[in-house]
Structure 1
Amino acid sequence: MTNLKIGVVGIPGKWSTEVLADEIEAKTGFRMVIDIEKVVADLSTPKVTYQGQCLCELDGIIIKKISQTYSPMVIDRLEILRFVESCGVKVYSKPSEIIRLVDRMSCTISLARAKIPMPKTCITEDHDAAFNTVKEFGEVVLKPLFSTKARGMEVIKADQKESEIRKQLQAFYHTHQFYYIQQKMNLPGHDMGLVFLGGEYQGAYARVANGDSWNTTIHSGGKYAEVKPSQEIIDMAQKAQAQFDLSYTTVDIAETDQGPVCFEVSAFGGFKGAKEGLNLNMAQAYTDYVIQDLQKSDAND
């Protein structure tokens, strides 16, 4: 048992948030789930509080979830935690790194700069260029810049009438104000989540589609299963996550008829896939990792 005070930023009542808080409480005797919507930052004092507790007095904070859905507002919430970090509190993962991932554009650009294989992607605000991209790619997925679990994504096929394609594109643009267009890949009915803790590979699970949806997300009815990726895929995922200084993450990769491709590096990384697919308790492993890192930091001070 240690006397460290470690808070969890997450969604009160949600499984992944509570199971992480449970593990921390079991090892420290301290439990604090922080609903970021109710945090108050007084920069004139300066002080950041949640339910009367000054977050700057904590030893560490683990960011498990910042919102039920992604939006630009998420960045503002992370900026508050970046301020807490400046007070000397260690935050896992670093808010500045998470900011680079919650925006799909930033994540994609970082992966492209590192030459990580991805589906063909076009990013534009030009309506005609978007239409021409659909015709060139054949079948595409329109993706919001801020979303999780395939929410808000739409599929367009190039063999539709031009008027129908343009109508769908314009409706998407009206909502999202940007075109992020990715070629739809032929997947083998599943994709993979490769788990990393402190940059070290832990294992991989598959998300298996239920047959009724074009995507494999659990939100759309997919199921978790164990998978044994090739060394090539593990190396790709290792390189992808290394573009971001993350404490814990999962990397989404799929095998296609054009070879393996990376879809994204997760800003937070889930626990349920590792639990149900691999029988790994990553909430416990993450807690141990954070405690050891904090104790190491104390020893070096």
Structure 2
Amino acid sequence: MINKRIAVIGIPGKWSTEVLADHLEQRTGYRCIIDMADVVLELETGQLRYQDTLLNALDGVIIKKISETYSPAADDRLRMLSSLEADGVRCFSPPNQVIRLINRLEGTAALASCDVPLPATRVTESTDAALDTIQAFGKAILKPLYSTKARGMLVLKAADGVKANTQKLDKFKAKHGLFYLQQFVNLGGQDLGMVFLGGEYLCTYARAGDANAWNTTIHSGGKYIPFDPSPELIELGRKAQSCFDLSFTTVDIALTDEGPVVFEVSAFGGFSGAKKGCGIDAAEKLCDYVLSQFEARA
């Protein structure tokens, strides 16, 4: 038993949050799940409180989930947590790193600056420029800056014509503002989730898509299956995740006719894919890693 008070920041009742809290309780005797919706930040002191728990007095926190959905409010929640590290509370992953991945544009820009291969991407507020991009790409995916599991994404085809696409763009802009357009790539029915723990490769699973869906997300009917990547593919995933300093993450990779491309690095990573696709209890592995970091400092 390791005498450390480590809380899980997540969604009470959600499997990934609860299973991580279970492992921590087994190893430390302490269990605490923090819902950021009920956290109070005292700006004059820098203290954060969740019910009767003073977060600044904890030994550490694992940020498993900051909110149910990505939004600017998720940014705010992470900024609230930034004072913890100054008080010596270990954060897994650091809030300032997770913030970089909540906004799709910031995360993709970081990958591009590290020369990670990505689908061709254009970002603009101009409807005319967006129409030109759709024409140049032939087929494009229009993505909200804040979303997960392909929610809110649209497939736009040049063949549908300027009028139809203008209507779709105008409707999207009224809700989301900026146009983030990525060239449509043929996934071949699957894409990959490559899991890293403390920067080290853990496993890879594939998401096999439903025949009726353009994406492979589980939300759209996909399923997890095992996948054995080449050493070169693992190095690509390693390069992508090394653009950020994350305790646990999943790199989304597609195998295209032109070679592999990275879609994104996850802000939090998923336990379910590692469990169902690789037979690995990633929550237990993450718990072991976190506790090893405390032991290394002892």
Normalised by the size of structure 1, how large is the TM-score? 0.98
The offset of 1:56, in angstroms, is: 0.7
Counterpart Cα distance in 2 of 1:295 and 1:49: 27
Residue aligned with 2:159, SS = coil
Counterpart Cα distance in 1 of 2:117 and 2:44: 46
Counterpart Cα distance in 2 of 1:19 and 1:44: 35
Residue aligned with 2:181, SS = strand
The aligned counterpart of 1:105 is 105
Amino acid aligned to 2:68? Q
Cα root mean square deviation, aligned: 0.8
Post-superposition Cα deviations, 1:259-295, rounded to whole Å, max 9, x if no partner, equal: 1000000000000000000100110010010011012
Q: Could you list the runs of 4 or more consecutive aligned residues of structure 1 that deviate by over 4 angstroms after TM superposition? A: none
Counterpart Cα distance in 2 of 1:43 and 1:162: 50
The offset of 1:161, in angstroms, is: 2.1
Counterpart Cα distance in 2 of 1:104 and 1:61: 24
Equivalent runs, 1:206-225 vs 2, <5 Å: 206-225=206-225
The aligned counterpart of 1:130 is 130
Question: Is the contact made by 1:250 and 1:270 (CA closer than 8 Å) also made in structure 2?
Answer: yes
Residue aligned with 1:67, SS = coil
The offset of 1:67, in angstroms, is: 0.6
Counterpart Cα distance in 2 of 1:19 and 1:100: 26
Question: Is the contact made by 1:60 and 1:294 (CA closer than 8 Å) also made in structure 2?
Answer: no
Equivalent runs, 1:6-21 vs 2, <5 Å: 6-21=6-21
The aligned counterpart of 1:76 is 76
The offset of 1:258, in angstroms, is: 1.1
The offset of 1:46, in angstroms, is: 3.6
Residue aligned with 1:105, SS = helix
The offset of 1:43, in angstroms, is: 2.0
Q: Confirm whether residue 238 of structure 1 aligns to residue 273 of structure 2.
A: no
Counterpart Cα distance in 2 of 1:292 and 1:218: 32
The aligned counterpart of 1:200 is 200
Counterpart Cα distance in 2 of 1:178 and 1:165: 15
Question: Is the contact made by 1:71 and 1:146 (CA closer than 8 Å) also made in structure 2?
Answer: yes
Counterpart Cα distance in 2 of 1:253 and 1:46: 39
The aligned counterpart of 1:62 is 62
The aligned counterpart of 2:153 is 153
Stretches of structure 2 lacking an aligned partner (at least 5 in a row): none
Question: Is the contact made by 2:192 and 2:254 (CA closer than 8 Å) also made in structure 1?
Answer: yes
Post-superposition Cα deviations, 1:155-180, rounded to whole Å, max 9, x if no partner, equal: 11110121101111111111110000
Counterpart Cα distance in 2 of 1:91 and 1:52: 20
Amino acid aligned to 1:118? L
Amino acid aligned to 2:18? E
Question: Is the contact made by 2:156 and 2:165 (CA closer than 8 Å) also made in structure 1?
Answer: yes
Counterpart Cα distance in 2 of 1:28 and 1:273: 26
Question: Is the contact made by 1:275 and 1:282 (CA closer than 8 Å) also made in structure 2?
Answer: yes
The offset of 1:37, in angstroms, is: 0.5
The aligned counterpart of 1:26 is 26
Counterpart Cα distance in 2 of 1:246 and 1:47: 24
Question: Is the contact made by 2:2 and 2:27 (CA closer than 8 Å) also made in structure 1?
Answer: yes
Residue aligned with 1:88, SS = coil
- Shifted more, 7-16 versus 110-119: the winner is 110-119
The aligned counterpart of 1:179 is 179
Counterpart Cα distance in 2 of 1:77 and 1:162: 40
Q: Confirm whether residue 169 of structure 1 aligns to residue 154 of structure 2.
A: no
Question: Is the contact made by 1:7 and 1:62 (CA closer than 8 Å) also made in structure 2?
Answer: yes
The aligned counterpart of 1:228 is 228
Question: Is the contact made by 1:48 and 1:56 (CA closer than 8 Å) also made in structure 2?
Answer: yes
**Percentage identity across paired residues of the two chains:** 52
The aligned counterpart of 2:293 is 293
Residue aligned with 1:192, SS = strand
Stretches of structure 1 lacking an aligned partner (at least 5 in a row): none
Question: Is the contact made by 2:46 and 2:83 (CA closer than 8 Å) also made in structure 1?
Answer: no
Question: Is the contact made by 2:141 and 2:154 (CA closer than 8 Å) also made in structure 1?
Answer: yes
The aligned counterpart of 2:36 is 36
